[in-house]
Amino acid sequence: MESTGSTTSKSEKKENSLPKEHMKFLPSITEQQLDQKQNKKKLQSLFDKYLRPASVDGKTIDVQKEWGKQFKEAVAAMAKKDVADESIFIMDVIIYYLYHDIITDKSKYPKSVPFIDLPIEMIEFLIKKAQKQFEDERPLVQFEAPVKIFGDIHGQYTDLLHMFKEMGDKNKTEQQDYILSKNCRYLFMGDYVNRGKQSCEVICLLLALKVRYPTQIIILRGNHESQAITRIYGFFDEIKRRYKINLWQQFYTCFNHMPLVALIDEKIMCMHGGFSKDMHSFDQIESLPKPTDIPDSGLVADLVWNDPDEDVRDWEENERGCGWVFGRKQLDEFLKKHDLDLICRGHQVMEDGYGFFGKHKQLVTIFSAKNYCGDFDNDAAVMNVD
Ligand SMILES: [Mn+2]
């Protein structure tokens, strides 16, 4: 278990060209039998011409509108210029602005992480590509360790940046600038939006990583990734204020395609809330309908809403108004029945960023938003499974 702390970053001189560290994130393009130099030159010129915010006398002008126009032109130009996969390049650009550009700038990171107003055209492109990725996944995602497991983030963008920075391969110089640790999956267990101030940045960075590294990044759905809950708890207001209502609709439509459960090495079951009393097999999860809104009750609702409770003997209705609570006995029975070692979930704030449940610690809650909402004094945690 790792807790996050603040780190200082090495400041790098910015040149008016595609950043050096950015070029390192384009291996899959260069692998596609294109002449490497030629391709890099193409990308470089596209980036310079279209993918920087338009500015006059060093001042950025109407970023969302002008930059968006440029972005559209860039996508069209890429098709013309025969860049092998424009979506990979666009994801690199988004990841660059949402991560590398910030953490390499001492004036921004870690003290004052800015709002990043990507052009709406770029976000719409991102949502479309991410939705396609989720459409290709079943509600149950199975894979092997090693994996880093994240709990709730709730729009706390600075925390997410800290965690990526802390989790990277620090000892290997050549990988120092990569956002992801090589040869390790990253599993996110839901609740990316609402509550915090920068839900848009959080979800855009995660979706861009999903599109860019589809098998390395696994994104599960939380109870907050729904139309009804985003309407009330902040995401709708943020998107309406910064963009337009229609973009919020595109986001929750995309959320409706997200998977619900991850199974690691057939022994660790991960979901946002908890297991359900209506779950009898993994085949049942596998064959859940997708896309789906989160209903008020039933298996899908239980998976994102349920909680463990030390004080209950049997299944009881959840005081949240949705889902159920279960006790140690139900946990033991469930693990035995499905031959599992551990349940891993988020959904509840934990003082140390994580907390165990059960006589033999067979359930762990991970929470990855530090000082949650400013109301809690909690740490954030990420769990490593080797
Ligand atoms: Mn939750």
Read off the CATH number of the domain in which 275 is found: 3.60.21.10
Q: Which of 37-51, 102-116, 330-344 has the highest mean pLDDT?
A: 330-344
At residue 234, the pLDDT reads 97
Mean of the per-residue pLDDT values for the chain? 86
- Residues 86, 34 share a domain: yes
- Residues 270, 208 share a domain: yes
Q: How far is the CA of 305 from the centre of ligand 1 (A)?
A: 7
What's the rounded mean pLDDT across residues 204-228?
96
DSSP-H helix ranges across the chain: 20-23, 27-30, 36-50, 63-81, 86-95, 101-103, 120-135, 157-167, 199-212, 227-232, 235-242, 245-255, 282-286, 299-305, 328-338
Q: What is the pTM of this model?
A: 0.88
Does residue 306 lie in a domain region?
yes
At residue 21, does pLDDT exceed 60? no
At residue 365, the pLDDT reads 98
Does residue 123 lie in a domain region?
no
Q: How far is the CA of 363 from the centre of ligand 1 (A)?
A: 16
At residue 59, the pLDDT reads 60
Domain that residue 33 falls in? 6-114
Per-residue confidence at 16, pLDDT binned at 50, 70, 90? very low
Does residue 133 lie in a domain region?
no
At residue 88, the pLDDT reads 82
Q: How far is the CA of 123 from the centre of ligand 1 (A)?
A: 24
- Residues 69, 179 share a domain: no
Of the residues 82, 114, 146, the one at which a domain ends: 114
Give the count of domains, the chain.
2
Does residue 107 lie in a domain region?
yes
Distance CA 269, CA 344 (A): 6
Does residue 284 lie in a domain region?
yes
Does residue 361 lie in a domain region?
yes
Active-site residue, selected from the candidate residues 100, 154, 162, 224: 224
Q: How far is the CA of 161 from the centre of ligand 1 (A)?
A: 20
Q: How far is the CA of 183 from the centre of ligand 1 (A)?
A: 29
What residues flank ion ligand 1 with Cβ within 5 A?
A: 191, 222-223, 347
At residue 235, does pLDDT exceed 70? yes
At residue 222, the pLDDT reads 98
Q: How far is the CA of 208 from the centre of ligand 1 (A)?
A: 22
To the query of whether residue 224 is one of the catalytic residues in this protein, the response is: yes
Q: How confident is the model over 101-139, as pLDDT tens digits?
A: 888 888 999 888 999 989 999 999 999 999 999 999 999
- Asked whether 252 and 218 are in contact (CB, 8 A), the reply is no
- Residues 108, 247 share a domain: no
Q: How confident is the model over 274-304, as pLDDT tens digits?
A: 999 999 999 999 999 999 999 999 999 999 9
